[in-house]
Amino acid sequence: MQEWILVNAEGLLTSVARAQIITRELYNITRPVWLQEPFEAESNLFSYITHPDDPTNAALIVDTMHIIQVHPSCTLEKLIAVFPELTVDERFALSSVIHQTNAFPFGLILPDSVTVRDEQYMIDNGWIEEEE
């Protein structure tokens, strides 16, 4: 089942740029950059779409049940950096979850501030059109 997360712009980062960083850093949890091969330079975890009326607005197409494998040497600085709204406790909790498990479902690390949207919401808000 398709699910979406709307990505807001933060600071100097546009919505699209944040979406790109988030999905890329989620991928890096499993495959830290230092051990990636050249073909992984553009690899990421989730794809995203942009709003038809505002291409600067991005929504990640996610699967909250997707299991993310954790590499023991992964670093989380960049991922955490794109969530400036997180409190220190939330950052610590995020780090703890990732560093203390070998794998976790993506939904487990979603901050409280994030809402997962369904297809109807995306249709109602003009992201996608209802199809036959």
Partner 1 sequence: MATFRVAYGYARNVHNQQSFVEIRKVGTSIDQSTEFSLGPDGYTLTTEGPSDTHMLPGIYTKTLEVTTIWDDVTKLNVLLAQIASSQDGTYFIETKNSLVGVPSFVGVLLPESMAIKDDATNVAVTFRATDGLALLKNTLYNDDGDPYTDHQTLKQHIENVQEKLLTWVRNEEYLESNVGNRRLALSMNATSVDDASYTTHPPSRTTDGYERMRVHHRTFHKQNTDGVNEYYSAYDVLDSICKTLGVCAGSFQQALWLVSPDSIAEGFDVRTYAFNGTESTLNGAVLTQPFDGTYLVTTSYKGANWTRSYSSPVGKALLTRVTQQSQGLIYSTQDAPGTVLFDTDEVYNRSENLTIRGRVRIQKSGDASLTGANRLYRFVPTFTLIIGTDDTTQYYLKHQIQRDITPNMTAVLNEGTQQENVVNYFNLYTGTTANNQLKPYSWETSDSDYHHRVPMDDGRFFALHDAKYDIDVVLPFEFTVLIYGTGNSTNQYKGASLEPQLLAYDFEGLIDSNYLDDATVTFIEVGLYRRAKDQLQEAESFRYRAKQDSGRTDIDHGQTLIGDRGASTYFGGIEVYDGTDWIPSSGWVTRDQATARTVNQLAVEEVCANHKEAKNVQRGTVVHSTSVEPAVFYFGHRWQDMTTDEYFVPLRHVFTYTSQLSDVTLFKRGRTFSGVTVDIDKFTDPIDTTSLKPSGTDLSGSELFVVTRTEGLAQIYHNDARTIAEAWDNANVIDGANLEFYKTVTPDAFGQYNAYQGEFRGVNEKIVRRIYFNGRSRLATDTDSGWVAIHTMPDNSTLAETIDYLQEYVGTDTGDTFQYTAIISHELVSTLTTLLDQYSGATAAYSLRKVRNAYSGNCIIVRRDGASPGSQAIGFNASGELDTTAIISFCGSNNGFVTRWYDQSGNSNDLVQNSTTAQPKIYNGSSIEQLNSKPALLFDGSNDTMAVATNFDANENVNECVVAWVGSITNAGSGNAVVSHWNSTTSNQVFQMQKLNTDYMRHGLRYNNAQLATAASSATIVSGNQYIVVGTNKQNSMTLYTDGDSTSGTNVQNLAPNNATTMFRVSGRADNQAILHNGRTQEVVVWSRATPADDADDISDAINTFYSSY
Residues at the interface with partner 1 (CB under 8 A): 1-2, 23, 27, 31, 34-40, 42-47, 49, 52, 61, 63, 66, 70-73, 75, 77, 81, 99, 119, 127-129, 131-132
Q: What is the rounded distance in angstroms from the CA atom of residue 90 to the CA atom of residue 84?
A: 11
User: Which residue number, 9 or 71, has a Cβ lying nearer to partner 1?
Assistant: 71
User: Which residue number, 8 or 75, has a Cβ lying nearer to partner 1?
Assistant: 75
Q: Is 103 helix (H, G, I), strand (E, B) or coil?
A: strand
Q: To which residue do tokens 């939330």 refer?
A: 90
Residue 30 C-beta: closest distance to partner 1, Å: 8
Residue 29 C-beta: closest distance to partner 1, Å: 12
Q: Which residues, in sequence order, are bridge partners of residue 13? A: 10
Least Cα distance to 97 among 89, 19, 115 occurs for: 89
Q: What is the rounded distance in angstroms from the CA atom of residue 5 to the CA atom of residue 62?
A: 7
Tell me if 48 sits within 8 A of 23, measured CB to CB: yes
Residue 49 C-beta: closest distance to partner 1, Å: 5
Residue 110 C-beta: closest distance to partner 1, Å: 16
